[in-house]
Amino acid sequence: MGVTLGADMREWIARVVDWFRRDRLDAELDEELRFHRQHLERDATAEGSGDATSAAKRQLGNLTRTVEDARERWSIPRLDHLQQDVRYALRGLRRSPGFAFGVIATLALGIGANAAMFGVVDRLMFRPYPMLRDPDTAHRIYLQRMARNDQRTESWMEYTRYLDLQRATTTFEKFAAFFPMNQAVGVGDAARERPVAAVSATYFDLFDAPPALGRYFTPDEDRTPMGATVVVLSHGFWQSEFGGQDMLGRTIQVDNLPYTIIGVAPEGFTGITDGSPRALFYPITTYAGSRPGRDATEYFTTYNWGWTSAIGRRKPGVSVEQASADLTNAYLQSWNHQRERSPNMTPPDVAKPRGIAGPIREAAGPDPALEDQTALWVTGVAAIVLLIACANVANLFLGRVLRRRREVALRLALGVSRSRLAAQSLTESLVLSLIGCGAGLVIAQWGGSVLSSLFLPEGAEFNLLTDGRTLAVAVAAALFAAVLTGVAPAVLSTRADMASTLKAGAREGTYHRSRTRTALLVAQGALSVVLLVGAGLFVRSLDHVSSMRIGFDAEHILFVRRELRGLALSDTQRIALHRKLLETAQSIPGVERAAFVSSVPFRSTSTTDLYVEGIDSVHRLGQFTYQTATTDYFPTMGTRILRGRGFSPEDREGAPRVAVVSEGMANVLWPGQESIGKCMRVNADTMPCTTVVGIAEDAVQNSLTSTQWFRYYLPIEQYRPAGGYALMLRTRGDPALHAETVRKALQEVMPGQSYVAAQPLRELIDDRQRSWRMGATMFVAFGGLAVVVAAIGLYAVIGYNVAQRMHEMGVRIALGARSPDVVKLIVGQGVGFAVAGVICGGVLAWIGARYVQPLLFRQSATDPLVFALVAAVLVLVAGMASIVPALRAARADPNSTLRAE
């Protein structure tokens, strides 16, 4: 069967190819037959039969029939029709370029929006990683538990947990662990922070990616407590850094150790990463085993440090549910194991530990980030834009069918079949849609760079025009649009009543109100309302989040972190280095104030046990984080002291211990009391009192959406003099402008291979505000687009109606109607459409509101203000779109109307 099918297929392809060159084939056949005939005559003459020519003619048979029979081999009537229809469509477009432009532009915007958003969402959620073998059976491992009545989903775990899960599960063929990060690579001036990944030896087995050079590391080189110092370079890094020379056996410095290069991954291998491609891969146990402090020796036996991401490959025949159940069971065992060591851990029946074999892409996983959810919503928005565009185009087509009624009737009368007419109409939509698709892809690629920077991690590849998946979606969207826009006009054109139309003559006396067109207009209005409401909600969210007082003054702060890169320093040396850094920073022109700190907002927080007299368990009230800092912390950050005082130079080691607490913390620990002067014991209840000397305004720590703002501040000298890793610098003017000067000046202080990196604090916050900025930008862009398209549609329909009713208007004016009455009549019609749209759209938006609520920031999804504003905008736009045709109607000339009668 397969062979026949293949052969048939081949013959058909040949036929279609021949169809395209049928003119040449015709000519060749003629020449061939001429040749045949010549030879026949010549041979007949040579044989000496009487009338050579007639014999030849007789022999040649019916020439015409021969030609016809042969031609049948390359004639495909359907293709002929299609070609005629396409030509007819193109001719029609040339005749009315304005109409064609309107349709193509509208569809291009709709299709382009969808292609671009698909490109984004596909990269975020669906596209399998390059070279990943059998992606359907590979899963990221997610762990869920209940913490303070909140379900937490995490995609990372302790390395010990990873080992536990691997040991206790039976449904997985293989586990792999990985930890992506940025680390300093190289030495001296050539050293740069680069994206790298610490991975297990099993990691490479997930892929069909034999090394381009050398080999990958083996399980022997990836073992606890400390793996081998070997490294596999990515192809790109190998090319850019070493020009593709044979580097096997040479060493490269990564973080604090020299590594031997043992292999190069193949071109196109990215591993599992959403952002910039990783420069190199080395054993995960080598990473953990070379950490400073106790982590290096305890990471595979304790549960103190959660950092490992895990991938599991299901065994054949095991379902996803079975795998997840197996994971849950293993997680429970591991939980109990951990509880044996720390008995005050939450019991499993409260924590409800649960394992999930989920999608590798976290955006598609059980706990997607706000940004990812927003991206999905915006994709829905793009689909709505396409619907609006289709409704608009369908309306334009309908208008033209109405205008062409006479032509259609004439063609029917001349014997063109109705199905041919419908096919013609559909072909026209198809041609326009496909042209729109081409233009849309160009728009998508052009606008895509904006989308890519909004939604995708830095360094992500984004080329839509060479991407088969996006092209397929764009073409599918175009076909969808063609059907949607072509069907109604096709049906309408074949329903034309020829007799009455032909009889009606040139003047169309009566005005036809088309119910379909009205419905399409109202639908456009309604969908626009939905998008505008969304736009309003996101804009207000963004407004809330950016005007929110976050407790410090991010605009003017540059933060500098120092990276020791494995340099072993004694406490005294550390203290000296930190002091030197602080002094150097303070002496840099442009730096107004500086403080050395132990945590940076949105990067890290610290917690420790806290004891307060009269409270059983402070822990139970929420999470209290602390910051240790040098004297100038509050004026540097711009965090206001509400009562009491900030730090003073006298708060040094040996002096009475002091703390500043946030207002929120004071209110929860000592409600209704004066908190200044209260005693807290930090770390242990045997510690001496730390006295509260000041109340600071609340400040954001790790999350903008958090509702807990419990934070306390300790002088670094009193708490942990050798601690801390970052400088906060208040700069004059834009901190970004000072970043390089500051980095250079501070780098001079750093010993050995250690280094500093400077970044404006603003950038960290921008990252956190991304989801609302994204939502606001995209909803406004698409919402605006929708309204413009809908307004054009309304303008076209009202304009058409007015043209149809010019006669009626003339009569009205002749009977005494004044211009304002006529304008009011027409504008009223346009506004009527808008009001209907507002009502339908308002209801839709109201229903959709609760789904979008979690994505908003301190903003009710059913905010009456937003709804009212949107309604006003839509009515106003409708009024404006109908005013021009209305004025035209008001100029109807009663004289000519009556004379024509």
Partner 1 sequence: MPPNPRRDLLPGTLDMLVLKTLSVQPMHGYAIARHIQRLSQDVFRIEEGSLYPALQRMRQKGWVRAEWRQTPNNQRARYYTITTTGRKQLGAQSAGFDDLVAAIGRVMRTV
Half-sphere exposure of 345 (CA within 13 A, CB side): 21
Q: Minimum Å distance from CB 142 to partner 1?
A: 54
Q: Does 35 bind partner 1 (CB under 8 A)?
A: yes
Q: How far apart are CA 156 and CA 179, in angstroms?
A: 9
User: For partner 1, how many residues bind (rule: CB under 8 A)?
Assistant: 27
Q: Minimum Å distance from CB 70 to partner 1?
A: 5
Q: Minimum Å distance from CB 9 to partner 1?
A: 11
Q: Does 553 bind partner 1 (CB under 8 A)?
A: no
Q: Which residue's CB is nearer to partner 1, number 32 or number 767?
A: 32
Q: Does 39 bind partner 1 (CB under 8 A)?
A: yes
Q: Does 55 bind partner 1 (CB under 8 A)?
A: no
Q: How far apart are CA 648 and CA 633, in angstroms?
A: 10
Q: DSSP secondary-structure letter at 486?
A: H
Q: How far apart are CA 517 and CA 393, in angstroms?
A: 11
Q: Which residue's CB is nearer to partner 1, number 43 or number 508?
A: 43
Q: Quote the distance between the C-alpha of residue 288 and its chain's center.
A: 33
- 8 Å CB contact between 114 and 383: yes
Q: Does 54 bind partner 1 (CB under 8 A)?
A: no
Q: Which residue's CB is nearer to partner 1, number 28 or number 246?
A: 28
Q: Does 23 bind partner 1 (CB under 8 A)?
A: no
Contact with partner 1 (CB under 8 A) among 52, 55, 60, 736 = 60
User: Using CB under 8 A as the criterion, what x/- string covers residues 284-323 for binding partner 1?
Assistant: ----------------------------------------
Q: Does 653 bind partner 1 (CB under 8 A)?
A: no
Q: Does 687 bind partner 1 (CB under 8 A)?
A: no
Segment lying near partner 1 (by CB under 8 A), choices 60-68, 386-394, 440-448, 679-687: 60-68
> Would you state the torsion angle of the CA atoms of residues 602, 607, 612, 616, taken in this order, to the nearest 10 degrees?
110
Q: Does 61 bind partner 1 (CB under 8 A)?
A: yes
Q: Does 29 bind partner 1 (CB under 8 A)?
A: yes
Q: Minimum Å distance from CB 84 to partner 1?
A: 24
Q: Which residues of 89-114 are buried (b: 16+ CB within 10 A; e: fewer)?
A: beebbeeeeebbebbbbbbbbbbbbb
Residue 874: count other Cβ atoms within 10 Å of its Cβ.
26
Segment lying near partner 1 (by CB under 8 A), choices 66-74, 298-306, 644-652, 827-835: 66-74
Q: Does 69 bind partner 1 (CB under 8 A)?
A: yes
Q: Minimum Å distance from CB 79 to partner 1?
A: 15
Residue 424: count other Cβ atoms within 10 Å of its Cβ.
22
Q: Minimum Å distance from CB 78 to partner 1?
A: 17
Q: Minimum Å distance from CB 61 to partner 1?
A: 4
Contact with partner 1 (CB under 8 A) among 26, 52, 66, 638 = 66
Q: Which amino acid is at 462?
A: F
Of the candidates 401, 515, 575, 436, the residue with the CA atom closest to the CA atom of residue 110:
436
Q: Minimum Å distance from CB 19 to partner 1?
A: 11
Sign of CA dihedral 457, 461, 466, 467: negative
Contact with partner 1 (CB under 8 A) among 9, 10, 240, 500 = 10
Q: Minimum Å distance from CB 11 to partner 1?
A: 5
Q: Minimum Å distance from CB 69 to partner 1?
A: 4
Segment lying near partner 1 (by CB under 8 A), choices 39-47, 100-108, 532-540, 769-777: 39-47
Q: In this structure, are strands 658-662 and 690-696 parallel, antiparallel, or unpaired? A: parallel
Contact with partner 1 (CB under 8 A) among 9, 32, 245, 688 = 32
Q: What is the 3-state secondary structure (H, E, C) of 877-891?
A: HHHHHHHHHHHHHHC
Q: Minimum Å distance from CB 64 to partner 1?
A: 10
Q: Which residue's CB is nearer to partner 1, number 40 or number 680?
A: 40
Helix (H, G, I), strand (E, B) or coil at 288: helix
- 8 Å CB contact between 271 and 196: no
Q: Which residue's CB is nearer to partner 1, number 20 or number 446?
A: 20
Q: Please tell me the total number of residues recorded for the chain in this structure.
A: 901
Of the candidates 102, 38, 197, 167, the residue with the CA atom closest to the CA atom of residue 795:
102
Q: Minimum Å distance from CB 83 to partner 1?
A: 20
Q: Which residue's CB is nearer to partner 1, number 36 or number 643?
A: 36
Sign of CA dihedral 221, 225, 229, 230: positive
Q: Which residue's CB is nearer to partner 1, number 31 or number 609?
A: 31
Structure tokens at 342: 């720390």
Contact with partner 1 (CB under 8 A) among 9, 21, 24, 31 = 31
Q: Does 30 bind partner 1 (CB under 8 A)?
A: no
Q: Which residue's CB is nearer to partner 1, number 31 or number 734?
A: 31
Contact with partner 1 (CB under 8 A) among 53, 62, 245, 304 = 62
Q: How far apart are CA 600 and CA 577, in angstroms?
A: 19
Contact with partner 1 (CB under 8 A) among 22, 26, 36, 757 = 36
Q: Does 891 bind partner 1 (CB under 8 A)?
A: no
Q: How far apart are CA 272 and CA 203, in angstroms?
A: 10
Segment lying near partner 1 (by CB under 8 A), choices 57-65, 302-310, 481-489, 835-843: 57-65
Using only C-alpha atoms, the chain has a radius of gyration, in whole angstroms, of: 37
From residue 716, give the alpha-carbon distance in Å to each of 567, 658, 698, 713, 719. 22, 11, 20, 9, 5
Contact with partner 1 (CB under 8 A) among 22, 26, 33, 239 = 33
Q: Minimum Å distance from CB 117 to partner 1?
A: 44
Q: Does 20 bind partner 1 (CB under 8 A)?
A: no
Of the candidates 645, 748, 641, the residue with the CA atom closest to the CA atom of residue 691:
645
Contact with partner 1 (CB under 8 A) among 22, 26, 52, 73 = 73
Q: Which residue's CB is nearer to partner 1, number 70 or number 475?
A: 70
- 8 Å CB contact between 296 and 289: yes
Q: Which residue's CB is nearer to partner 1, number 39 or number 495?
A: 39
Structure tokens at 786: 């929708």
Q: Minimum Å distance from CB 82 to partner 1?
A: 20
Q: How far apart are CA 138 and CA 757, in angstroms?
A: 37
Q: What is the 3-state secondary structure (H, E, C) of 139-191?
A: EEEEEEEEECCEEEEECCEEHHHHHHHHHHCCCEEEEEEEEEEEEEECCHHHC
Structure tokens at 173: 């063929």
Q: How far apart are CA 405 and CA 501, in angstroms?
A: 7
Q: What is the secondary structure of 755-821 as a DSSP string?
A: EEEEEEHHHHHHHHHHHHHHHHHHHHHHHHHHHHHHHHHHHHHHHHHHHHHHHHHHHHHHTT--HHH
Q: Which amino acid is at 513?
A: R
Q: Minimum Å distance from CB 534 to partner 1?
A: 56
Q: Minimum Å distance from CB 36 to partner 1?
A: 5
Q: How far apart are CA 189 and CA 195, in angstroms?
A: 18
Q: Minimum Å distance from CB 4 to partner 1?
A: 12
List contacts with partner 1 (CB under 8 A): 7, 10-11, 14-15, 18, 28-29, 31-33, 35-36, 39-40, 43, 59-62, 65-66, 69-70, 72-74
